Structure 1
Amino acid sequence: MRTWVYLPLLLSGMVPWLVRWTATRVSPATAVRTAAAAAAAAAGTWVCCLALLALTFCDDLPPLSAFDRRPDLGLPKPVPDVVALAAAAALAVGLARLVREVVRRRRVLRELRGAGRPNGGLVVADWTEPFAVAVPGRPGRSGHLLVTSGMLRLLDAQERRVLFAHEQSHLRRRHHHWVAVAVWSAALSPLLKPLSAQVAHATERWADEDAAIQVGDRHLVARAVAKASLAGGVRRLEPAMALHGSGAVARVRALQQPCRQSRLWAVAGVVGWCALLLGATAVALAEFGDVARAWLTQLG
């Protein structure tokens, strides 16, 4: 355990860069799926390797500590204790951040669901702040749209068609699941933090493209996005999805051009990198198993 257990921790730092490179060469839908899958794989290997490092500290605890003082046994000493303690601390911090994100998600959803009872999948709140969001439903229930009177006054009739098409796309595609995977992965591993923003932006682009197909006018969608973003509220709405969400300028620019077609070869780099991460983690697990067996046989 002197190389392989550290390799996934180092390689995971490249995942956001690879995902960003891939996103410029594929459609938004493919970018979201690729980024979320890569985030889950990188976070999983990160947690696994930190746990392996932390578990090596067990040789300093009874009854294994008695064998630790006998060099004549030739038992393997995989990592220094300070490394094991640092790994345990990093793992604990990551789990604490994950719990915080889950609590925040529940709080935001509770606030948005409390805005009113949906009627036909829509809640119109008499709030001056202009925003509209797709609110995910509880398990087993469909979500609904929450639109404020301020947003309805801001947009004309055609732009409101864009608004509803965009938000319905978020619900239909279950974008909040993809965003949650990225956010929770970034909570566990700080190296993955850029992925959270990348997935949020790509899901908005995905909904923009769905809206453009439904209304048949990309320039109309761009205009609606620009107006909603300039006037939209500043409150943090994740995990709800909003028309005035991530990266409005880049989204408007993208809508001025035809939708990008996916080049699946561009995904191969991310897939190969994730396979390397998983392979290195599998080797680290095998090495840890050998070390654990060497120590545990002394108890027999």
Structure 2
Amino acid sequence: MTVTVYLPLLLAVVLAWSAPRIAQRGRPGPAARGLSAIAVLAAASSTWSLALLALTALDDLPPLAVLDEHPSMDLPEPVPGPVALVAGLALLLGGARLLIDLRRRLVTHRQLRAVGTAEHGLVVADWSAPLAVAVPGRRGRDGHLLVTTGMVRLLDADERRVLFAHEQAHLAHRHHRLVAATAAAAALNPLLVPVRETVAYLVERWADEDAAAIVDDRDLTAQAVARAALATVGAGSGAVLGINGGAALHRVRALTEPAPAPRRRRLIGPALLGVGFLTTVTAATVEFVALARAWL
């Protein structure tokens, strides 16, 4: 097999490098959707490439190993045995990480739904810790907002409007699906972790922009995000308006500037990467089929 089978891994590195730069320009919504889709394609492509590499280890098993040593047989050599072994181990680790991530998300959603019964799409928990999160629905049901009394006391009436608009945007656009899909991709291929982090940031920016449009006040939205960030410093909570360390600073700064304009050209790069993933995987598969025919 040629270098083609390794190219999806190289392209995943390029995608991870470019993702934060794509997030800096234009509207966050199209970027979040585009990067999430390309991340899933990248994970599928790299996983398939690893599977092809791992399958070449079959030539070391009988009866193929006997044929390989036959003097009259001139069979093509696939890849070195250690490479196939590493590819197989990478597949197993990726599958284990994927199962762990899925289980963690299911448990978290189950715990959030168990906090209380929503009334008019809202659950207010009597907790001192400031917390606000959009809880996805289950089996076609609508999701709801979970807000603690600590969160309610933290913000004034206008800032609470920002809070509800922000979390409703998460539900309306089903941001949890984009985040979960990209997290699954990063579990299968750790090279995509920067893409996972970028999409998580972009969905928060997306919800910020929706909230700013609904309350018609970008400064108020920036104020609410900043106040929530200060309240959660050292608290270990990332669920208050999606605050996540230094990302809050970038979000506040973005809200102090005019609303971003559409820049579809920035998605040309990810689209070309998507074509690259499909092309390289197809070529690697054709090579593997030719190899398998020679052996069998």
Looking at structure 1, the residues matched to 242 and 65 of structure 2 have their Cα atoms a distance apart, in angstroms, of: 58
Q: Tell me the percent identity.
A: 51
Q: Is the 8 A contact 1:131 1:228 kept in 2?
A: no
How far off its partner does 1:21 sit? Answer: 1.9
1:166 aligns with 2:166: yes
Looking at structure 1, the residues matched to 196 and 91 of structure 2 have their Cα atoms a distance apart, in angstroms, of: 19
Looking at structure 2, the residues matched to 189 and 32 of structure 1 have their Cα atoms a distance apart, in angstroms, of: 19
Deviations 1:95-122 (A, max 9, x none): 1111110111111111111111111111
Looking at structure 1, the residues matched to 193 and 73 of structure 2 have their Cα atoms a distance apart, in angstroms, of: 44
How far off its partner does 1:278 sit? Answer: 1.6
Looking at structure 1, the residues matched to 189 and 80 of structure 2 have their Cα atoms a distance apart, in angstroms, of: 22
Looking at structure 2, the residues matched to 222 and 41 of structure 1 have their Cα atoms a distance apart, in angstroms, of: 34
Looking at structure 1, the residues matched to 31 and 10 of structure 2 have their Cα atoms a distance apart, in angstroms, of: 23
Looking at structure 1, the residues matched to 58 and 227 of structure 2 have their Cα atoms a distance apart, in angstroms, of: 58
The one-letter amino acid paired with 2:294 is A
How far off its partner does 1:197 sit? Answer: 1.0
Report what 2:191 is aligned to. Answer: 191
Report what 1:49 is aligned to. Answer: 49
Deviations 1:170-220 (A, max 9, x none): 000000000011111111111111111111110000000000111100001
Return closer, same or farther for 1:59/1:228 CA change in 2, 3 Å cut-off. same
The one-letter amino acid paired with 1:234 is G
Report what 1:234 is aligned to. Answer: 236
Looking at structure 1, the residues matched to 264 and 168 of structure 2 have their Cα atoms a distance apart, in angstroms, of: 27
The one-letter amino acid paired with 2:100 is R
Count of matched residue positions in the alignment of Structure 1 and Structure 2: 292
Q: Is the 8 A contact 2:130 2:231 kept in 1?
A: yes
Report what 2:224 is aligned to. Answer: 224
The one-letter amino acid paired with 2:78 is P
TM-score normalised to the size of structure 1? 0.94
Which structure 2 residues correspond to residues 1-300 of structure 1 after superposition, within 5 A? Answer: 1-232=1-232, 233-235=235-237, 242-246=240-244, 247-296=247-296
TM-score normalised to the size of structure 2? 0.95
- Residue aligned with 2:277, SS: helix
Q: Is the 8 A contact 1:134 1:145 kept in 2?
A: yes
Q: Is the 8 A contact 2:19 2:194 kept in 1?
A: no
Q: Is the 8 A contact 2:20 2:194 kept in 1?
A: no
Looking at structure 1, the residues matched to 71 and 268 of structure 2 have their Cα atoms a distance apart, in angstroms, of: 47
Decide which moves more: 255-264 or 142-151. Answer: 255-264
- Residue aligned with 2:180, SS: helix
How far off its partner does 1:55 sit? Answer: 0.4
Looking at structure 2, the residues matched to 71 and 14 of structure 1 have their Cα atoms a distance apart, in angstroms, of: 44
How far off its partner does 1:236 sit? Answer: 5.6
Return closer, same or farther for 1:169/1:227 CA change in 2, 3 Å cut-off. same
| Consecutive unaligned residues in structure 2, runs of 5 or more | none
Deviations 1:4-32 (A, max 9, x none): 10111122111022222222222110110
Q: Is the 8 A contact 1:39 1:185 kept in 2?
A: yes
Looking at structure 2, the residues matched to 203 and 244 of structure 1 have their Cα atoms a distance apart, in angstroms, of: 9
Decide which moves more: 208-217 or 21-30. Answer: 21-30
Looking at structure 1, the residues matched to 47 and 139 of structure 2 have their Cα atoms a distance apart, in angstroms, of: 27
Post-superposition, which runs of at least 4 consecutive aligned residues in structure 1 deviate over 6 A? none
Return closer, same or farther for 1:236/1:221 CA change in 2, 3 Å cut-off. closer
Looking at structure 2, the residues matched to 22 and 258 of structure 1 have their Cα atoms a distance apart, in angstroms, of: 18
